[in-house]
Amino acid sequence: MTLETAVTSPQDTFPTARHRLWVAVATPAHSNVGEPLTYLCDHELSPGTLVRVPLGRREVLGVVWDAPEEGEPPMPEGVKARAITGVLEGVAPLSASWRRLAAFTARYYQRALGEVALAALPPQLRDLTPEQMARRVKRSTKAAGAVAADAAALPHEHSVTLSAEQLHATAQIAGESGPFLLYGSTGSGKTEVYLHSVQQALAASPSAQALVMVPEINLTPQLEERFLQRFAPIYGAAAVVSMHSGMTPAQRLKSWLAAHTGEARIVLGTRMAVFASMPHLALIVVDEEHDASYKQQEGARYSARDLAVWRAREQHAKVILGSATPSLETWHASRPPTPEDPQGGRYLRLNMPSRIGSAELPRVRIVDMGQQPRAAVFSPPLLQAITERVERGEQCLVLLNRRGFAPVLHCKECGWKSDCPHCSAHQVFHKIDRTLRCHHCGFTQRVPHACPACGNVDIAPIGRGTEQLEEQLAALLRNVITPERRAARVARIDADTTKAKGALEEQLAAVHNGEIDVLVGTQMVAKGHDFRRITLVAAVQPDGALFSSDFRAPERLFALLMQAAGRAGRDAQYIASQGGEPPEMWIQTWHPEHSLYMALRQHDYPRFASEQLQERADAGMPPFAHQALVRADARTQEAAQAFLKAVSSAAHEAQLPGLAHVYLFPPVPMAVQRIANVERAQMLVESTHRGALQHFLAAWQGVLHAERAHHKAVIRWLVDVDPQGI
């Protein structure tokens, strides 16, 4: 690791400063600033200490890092190192295990150390002065003491009776070292296994901590409620904290301090929580581990799921990956031993195929749209089924993973389309506020009264989004009456309807309270939610992913549909009270014989996974190969591709380590090649050996920096290791 100095004039150096420190500060990988930086202090500071340091003309937060293993290099002649400006007193140094996590993340995902380490800390920590931080810690300590005193008087919650499958799973988790894949069907009670395992881990040690992650922010409120009900009577409400980007900076800092000091025994959060400072970590749970949201798509593009597995092993903690539709990488890693493969996978697979109680998995019904009336949005059989459910007082969920009213506006006279002027994508028509919005760059404008190209006033929407679906369904069900003698109510939940603070919670509460009869939504309502009265789920336009250029598209579609189906029929008692009509999942498709739908009809994930893994093995794709994407953003597409061609040629000329086991594909434009007037190109790097790929990428960093200096039109470049989309 390269060591650099924060250069200054001699008078900026304190005369009493004697000790040299290595400090990680936030510098992006493409800046070519080596790390950690060298500073001076008048006394020794332990690695992990948070300090304020000068960087250029700014003062920034830094983390004192471990000295280089090769010893202290001599200072360059004529260079003076600057002194730190302050220490954040009252905050214990970040542990060695946390520093190893940050260092591994930076190394594996080809990012700068300080960029990863500082991004993992709460934003408010970067802005507070040492004096402000001392006051904040003092207030937190007082509040913790008061909460602990109140918690001592709280009664303990009664234990929950586990099913036979849950008992078997929890016993194996307690008795084995893992890692574990908890493969359970939707409604099988995976959350109760998480709760029980957390309870066992915390009971084993008075200081033990547990981390529980979910893929999306909207899943944290209901999870927090369940964990507080279970653990607040035992450890106090302050023992359970959340961490996600939807919290205010002050809330995030408070939760981080509680975890860092050990006051918080349980941390619930999204992918960012994998970096929570938890010195006594004993258990990590990754719920819905297959979800692509665990992969960060900006900055350091880490996979929180994979880091959770690495962190658990490094800190001698246990890790549980849970899903009804595991990622193919995890499924392959948990394969049981066979005569052909006596070793098997490195994960232990725990099966929970049955739903809790007598609840049934929904019956999957495939509708061939080629046999339905032309241009029908809802086939007559599906519309009839929804009508009957609503008339009985049951709820339905209609899934369409595209928000807005229509994907594009179109002029039939001249062929004009509502293209974004800044991106190679269409602007989506939103009827509710009469706007055209680009979902890539955010550009918004009013809908024109006539075609901007030819003046034709007859411009029409093409395709459908959730907004249009909600409107059409409300019209189709306008004469349907519920048992309460009121008209059927249709509502929509997507990113557009949940922008306001508290809007999602309010809408979900309306669904749970029975105020909504038919819910139209995107993937954000298709997973994790425990809707007790939904008995029918319908996917109206799922075919697009069947023939996508992204080899992961079928896997994601199967997971989305199976997770959506899992929202139906979760309450066996409610189904019985309604007459016992089994729950249903309807799929409208133009390809009813596709093998994906055939496997889905039987809820047969193993069959689907087996077919997909065989295809990937034949094609040499993950998990049988390892990939990285190198992306270049430039002012022109030619400049972006020229840069990628140059770094590829330079790598071959230099015969970089690992190159013999690595294949560099030619550069190509990205699927959406222009965003916000920036052209984007990418180049795939692939190897059957993960170690060879890592060695090559590490050696390639210098080439990328050197070639960047010769390509002035290139704005930035980045490396995405284990990409989730190609």
Euclidean distance between CA atoms 21 and 573, whole angstroms:
64
Write down the pLDDT at residue 240: 95
Spell out the alpha helix ranges (H) of 442-593.
466-476, 503-512, 553-565, 572-577
Euclidean distance between CA atoms 28 and 697, whole angstroms:
17
Write down the pLDDT at residue 30: 58
Write down the pLDDT at residue 16: 47
What are the pLDDT digits (tens) for 593-634? Answer: 999 999 999 999 999 999 999 999 999 999 999 999 999 999
Distances in whole angstroms, Cα of residue 549 to Cα of each of 380, 452, 552: 32, 33, 9
Write down the pLDDT at residue 6: 43
Non-local CB neighbours of 385 within 8 Å, separated by 6+ positions: 536, 584, 586
pLDDT > 50? residue 334: yes
Judge whether 396 is annotated as a binding position.
Answer: no
- Higher pLDDT pick, 528 / 612: 612
Judge whether 414 is annotated as a binding position.
Answer: yes
Non-local CB neighbours of 422 within 8 Å, separated by 6+ positions: 438, 441, 443, 674, 675, 676, 677
Non-local CB neighbours of 692 within 8 Å, separated by 6+ positions: 658, 660, 661, 662
In this prediction, what percent of the chain has a pLDDT beyond 70? 92
Domains with residue ranges and CATH for the chain: 4-121 (3.40.1440.60), 152-352 (3.40.50.300), 363-403+465-618 (3.40.50.300), 408-462 (no CATH), 626-721 (3.30.70.260)
What are the pLDDT digits (tens) for 106-137? Answer: 999 999 899 999 999 998 888 777 777 777 77
Q: How confident is the model at residue 216 (pLDDT cuts 50, 70, 90)?
A: confident
- Element of type H or E holding 494: none
Judge whether 41 is annotated as a binding position.
Answer: no
Structure tokens, 555: 């896997």
Q: How confident is the model at residue 687 (pLDDT cuts 50, 70, 90)?
A: very high
Q: How confident is the model at residue 361 (pLDDT cuts 50, 70, 90)?
A: confident
Q: How confident is the model at residue 4 (pLDDT cuts 50, 70, 90)?
A: very low
DSSP 140-178: HHHHHHHHHHHHTTSPPPPPPPPPHHHHHHHHHHHHS--
Q: How confident is the model at residue 531 (pLDDT cuts 50, 70, 90)?
A: confident
518 touches 478 (CB < 8 A): no
Give pTM, 2 decimals: 0.89
- Element of type H or E holding 267: strand 266-269
651 touches 676 (CB < 8 A): no
Where is average pLDDT lowest: 143-147, 170-174, 273-277, 683-687? 143-147
Write down the pLDDT at residue 33: 66
What are the pLDDT digits (tens) for 36-69? Answer: 888 999 888 999 999 999 988 888 999 999 988 7
Write down the pLDDT at residue 56: 82
Write down the pLDDT at residue 79: 63
The whole-chain average pLDDT of the chain stands at 88
Euclidean distance between CA atoms 631 and 633, whole angstroms:
7
Where is average pLDDT lowest: 18-22, 301-305, 513-517, 592-596? 18-22
Euclidean distance between CA atoms 559 and 215, whole angstroms:
14
Q: Please name the amino acid found at residue 145.
A: G
Q: What is the DSSP letter of 112?
A: -
What are the pLDDT digits (tens) for 445-490? Answer: 999 989 999 999 888 888 888 888 899 999 999 999 999 999 999 9
